[in-house]
Structure 1
């Protein structure tokens, strides 16, 4: 009895590696057509697919018969056929057919996860137990807002997810990493007026760069008449980060006006851990072109893609070097306030 109790306590007290009782993005809607995606998230190997009703489902990537990855099988009318002995599973994880055998064993099923498709994103509820989420996945209205057009992509990083958090919480690096796209004057970036606020589940960083030169992407996308008043508003949530950037002609409105016009880029950044050392980065960019909407939106999205390509090189090289100098201390500077608070929030949840 004592040994059983000890084992139970060890399981229940096992600390989670990633924050639980959270919604995490596991796919973009556009990735799923008549196909299966094999994707490990949060150390869980999954297959993600649409069932016969077009609903997104996520099952553990394992046949209950001999452990073959279901991702090595086929999708048949919204059901998954194991590629080893042909067991067929529906979207709930229940085996519904065993070839050559009428009776299906009662234990013939695999784990299904709670997933919700919303506004072009597929969210998975990651919890401590089997409970169903009592809250809806986050709302992101700019994916279906009539004034905005958006697109995005998925990147795989050979780096821990929190290094991407760090990168996004500190946009002063734009002047050095993204000179040809969304960068700008380095001095203005490093000395931008910055305000950091926090509540129970958010860290918000606001940076204003008044009377600055428009960077290349801004000039391509919007008819500025000269210098601009530029803003960066970073809204950190545990499973994703929302970044509102943009600019107006200098002196034409207050950057504290939530309804200000001008050029807007609203980035959605969902960084979902794959393992302790790797992650998936689901990003979208929504923008509000006034004229030639499709063309300008495509330019903005492609420019965004270029910046993320640049970030990926930086972050993966950073992680390689951190592993080489794993006992070295990292010294903080003034621009680190937001990322430090975000890291503390994640640590508290874990």
Structure 2
């Protein structure tokens, strides 16, 4: 298969969540590369190229046997390192009977896969952490979406939260003009882009009032940390004037979102997400409510982004006009453009 070179390589990407990999093989495509995920004999997640070296059937069409993957066509059995260890009816195993393995690691219940620029390339760093998943102050749930749109359109959406007053009126929205006029600070450090937005004395949205006993107006924050393979977004609020919202130890209602944006192809994407939220001691447990409203919110985003992409194709992508809210998204696009440019030199 011809692989696209429009993606930054030699880094960890999100392949899914630990709870998604069960007794059956799980086939997915990442960065134009078909991959099958399964559990080895020790119960650890492993990943192989999703193609039997015999007659090219996807190995995800087979089954897992004692921590190895049995092809569903002629029964060749492959260990987690990609080596064939059994050919039914044949004692000698051909030396070339192997498939390419991918380095995989599970950290904070996120499955990360190393996408190398060269065959056999190995990780040169540890996978990212998701601190909220291990923080006792929070509980989290998550899910996955498939997008019929390029992955950078999802980056654009997450780095520009001014849209929530228009797109998410039933969940995390609020006054649209307040969102558009929120003071915004955009900074960058290497491949990391950070966007911070504050909305003081604003009306609490539905998701917030369902989860926290606010007294009236709220001081609200949005802190977005972009990395090439994922974003972590810290949002929340306190009662208006109750305490500084730039205090790292602030109280109030907290939502810490993890967003693993992994390209499937040049025009389709995986979106793996979790939301970790704090609970008020006097309120009923809010995890299911926050999870459902977050899922509803992201479904609204998916509909908008897929419609946007369809229209971009319909109009042959003429130049688009930038406005003030695009600073973070444009900075992230420059990061990826520079990485891709460096890879082609």
TM-score (norm 2): 0.96
- In the alignment, is the contact (CA less than 8 A) between 2:217 and 2:239 conserved in 1? yes
Q: Which moved more, 1:200-209 or 1:130-139?
A: 130-139
Task: State how many pairs are aligned.
Answer: 338
Structure 1 length-normalised TM: 0.94
Q: Which of 53, 64, 71 is the equivalent residue of 2:60?
A: 71
Deviation at 1:158, TM superposition (A): 0.3
Shift of 1:141: 1.1
Matching residue of 2:287: 297
**Residue 162 of structure 2: aligned partner:** 172
Specify the alignment match of 1:156 in structure 2.
146
How big is the shift at 1:206? Answer: 0.3
- Counterpart of 1:234 in structure 2 is 224
Q: What corresponds to 1:145 in structure 2?
A: 135
Deviations 1:74-118 (A, max 9, x none): 111221111111100111111000001111111110000001011
| Structure 1 match to 2:30 | 41
| 2:189 corresponds to | 199
Instruction: Provide the residue aligned with 1:221 in structure 2.
Output: 211
| Distance in 2 (alpha carbons) for counterparts of 1:41 and 1:291 | 42
Deviation of residue 72 (structure 1)? Answer: 1.4
Q: Partners of 1:134 and 1:195 in 2: how far apart?
A: 32
Q: CA RMSD in A?
A: 1.4
Distance 1:34 1:66 in 2: 24
Residue 290 of structure 1: how far off its partner (Å) = 2.6
8 Å contact kept, 2:41–2:66: yes
C-alpha change, 1:294 and 1:144, in structure 2 (3 Å) is farther
Poorly superposed stretches of 4+, deviation over 4 Å? none
Q: Which range moves more in the overlay, 33-42 or 293-302?
A: 293-302
Uncovered stretches (5+) of structure 2, i.e. residues with no partner? 341-345
Which whole-Å CA distance do the structure 1 matches of 2:276 and 2:297 have between them? 15
| Structure-to-structure mapping, 1:1-350, within 5 angstroms | 16-129=5-118, 130-291=120-281, 295-350=285-340
| Secondary structure, counterpart of 2:286 in structure 1 | helix
The worse-fitting range, judged by mean Cα deviation, of 78-87 and 152-161 is: 78-87
Report how far residue 295 of structure 1 moved. 3.0
Which secondary structure state, in structure 1, belongs to the residue aligned with residue 42 of structure 2? coil
The answer as to whether partners of 2:4 and 2:266 remain within 8 angstroms in 1 is no
